[in-house]
Structure formats: C-alpha cells, structure tokens
Amino acid sequence: MAERPGDIDSVNHVGVAVRDLDRASALYEALGFTLSPLSVHFGSTKPDQPPEPLATGNRCAIFPHNYVEVLGIVNPGKPDWSWGKFLERFQGGHIICFGCKDANVVHERLSHTDIKTSDVVLLQRDIGTPEGVRTARFDCVHFDRAQTPEGLIQAARHRNPEYVHQERYLTHRNGARALSEVVLISSDPAANAKHYETLTNRKAAHNGNRYEIDLPLVSKLIFTTPEGIADYLPGSLFSPPPSIAAMGFAVADLAHVENLLKQGKFTVVKSGGKLIVPAEEALGVTHYFFAG
C-alpha cells in the first residue's frame, strides 16, 4: 500500500456513549483519568454547510497524541449522529476517529474504493484554555455506516490540536501515557481486518486468533472473535458483536495502577502482563493497562 502524505496515521480517539455524563465522568475519574471540562459539539451534516449546535457534549481523557471521549446528550432534540440508536444497543464504545493531517487525502483515496464517505464536513467545539475560550475546528470524513456496523468510524484533521492537548490535562493519576490498543470483535475478524486495511491504508498482521494493524503515530487495532477476546482479556463481559469492545492503555507503573484500582473498589484481573477492569465496571468497555 503506497504511503500518502497527510493520510491516516493514528487512532485519534475512541468515543464512549453514556446515558448519564456526570455519573460516567465520576467513574472515569475513579479509574485514575484526568478529564477535561465539558465541551459541546457543533457540526455540519453536509459538505460546505456551516456548523450548528449538536446534541452531544464530551469530557476527555487526553494524552499527547490521542484521547478517550466520554460523550452524552446535553442538547436534547438537536442533531445527534444517531446517538439514541447507539444507546439502544448498549452503553459503551461506539466511535473510532482516526487521525490524519489532511482529510481530503483520506476522502480522495477512498473514492477509488467501494467505501462511501460523507466527503469532508466541518466539526467544532469551544474549549476553555488558560487564555480564554477558543474554538477547536476539525475537518472530518465519516465512513459509510452500512459498512461499519461496529460504530461511527471516521477520520479527522485537527486544525487546532493545541486547544485539545493542553499540558494541564495530560497527567493522569493512573500514569496512562496513551490509548495504545483498540479491540474490535466480530464473527469474521479476518474480513473485518481486511476492511480496515482499506480504511487505514495499512496492512494487517495475523497473530494467533487475532489480526492487528499498527498505525505509525500511535495505537494498534486488534480484530478478534468473542471467544478470542475472552482469551486475551479474561474476566469480563463484552459488548455484543460487532463492536468496539476494549481499550488498552500504556502506563508507567503497573503496581501503582493496581493499588489505585483496588482503592476505587474495581475488580482487577491479571493476565498476560495486563491489568483488566471488566466492561461492566467501566462504562461498557473493557479497560486494560500494561507497562509501556
């Protein structure tokens, strides 16, 4: 696969859909993550359309190159990107946004495949900074939902990454350094990985009962079956396939994380050098931590 300057280079963020943003935020902080203050989304639903207020708002656990977005409804009745349908399925992971330096490159490349996109649309949200409120803007390409039943999959260019990745939010009590792995489950992980090869322009490697795509800036995608994820991450329930079932975080000190999680009364399962918090205790997404 030929490299294209500006193309997808990372998992920019995973979005976790929750029913009660305040309660979910408190739980996430108990897991040891620092969360940014509430930020409300604005977006366009068609190319060249100006952004308008959307239904959702977020708080984020931010790392140097990516983040986890905890999202809830804060403006009922506004456009919500089918948010209600997400929560009808389950509370949990419903968005993967890939990072890129040029959303037009992603759209143009995929226009030569069988994958339909939204073309490039604009998103924005206001973010508090030490200098006052600033508007972070994003160029976003949504991939055809019919071809990604596991969630809303997209790619985005951050026009103002300095507003999101503020130094004051990068330190977490659990020592997390990055959202390092994202696990997707389906009945046919080989086919799923093949589809994501096209989306990301990256080859997948076969690793036992898993397929893996390493992205050059940050994060690995892992594709497996419900049985395969139970082997990789024992001791948890999982969201129904196809879905975004788990997230892995590189941390500085596993012993410190274990103590913090036990103080927070979380169940901790140890397996293969990983500390695993089951999905039923972590907003419907299995969370795991490993040294890195």
Give the domain CATH number at 231.
3.10.180.10
At 45 the pLDDT is: 66
Task: Return per-residue pLDDT of the chain as tens, 292 residues.
Answer: 888 999 999 999 999 999 999 999 999 999 999 999 998 887 776 777 787 888 889 999 999 999 999 999 998 888 876 777 889 999 999 999 999 999 999 999 999 999 999 999 988 888 999 999 999 999 999 999 999 999 999 999 999 999 999 999 999 999 999 999 999 999 999 999 999 999 999 999 999 999 999 999 999 999 999 999 999 999 999 999 999 999 999 999 999 999 999 999 999 999 999 999 999 999 999 999 999 9
Tell me if 2 is assigned to some domain.
Answer: no
Does one domain contain both 218 and 282?
yes
Contact (Cβ atoms closer than 8 angstroms) between residue 289 and residue 257: yes
The residue from 115, 140, 169 where one domain ends is: 169
Return the pLDDT at 83: 75
Distance CA 163, CA 178 (A): 18
Amino acid at 275: L
State whether 23 and 140 are in the same domain.
yes
Residues 214 and 284 in one domain: yes
Range of the domain at 272: 176-291
Work out how many domains the chain is built from and give that number.
2
One domain, residues 35 and 96: yes
Q: What pLDDT was estimated at residue 263?
A: 97
Residue 5 forms part of a structural domain: no
User: Are both 141 and 117 inside the same structural domain?
Assistant: yes
pTM value is: 0.95
Q: Is residue 43 part of a domain?
A: yes
37 and 180 both lie in a single domain: no
Among candidate residues 133, 148, 169, the one where a domain is terminated: 169
Give the residue from 136, 169, 202 where a domain finishes. 169
Strands (E), 63-189: 67-73, 92-99, 117-129, 132-143, 152-158, 176-185
On whether both 91 and 203 belong to a single domain, the answer is no
Do residues 157 and 197 both lie within one domain?
A: no
Query: How many other C-beta atoms are found inside a 10 Å radius of the C-beta of residue 273?
Result: 11
Residues 152 and 238 in one domain: no
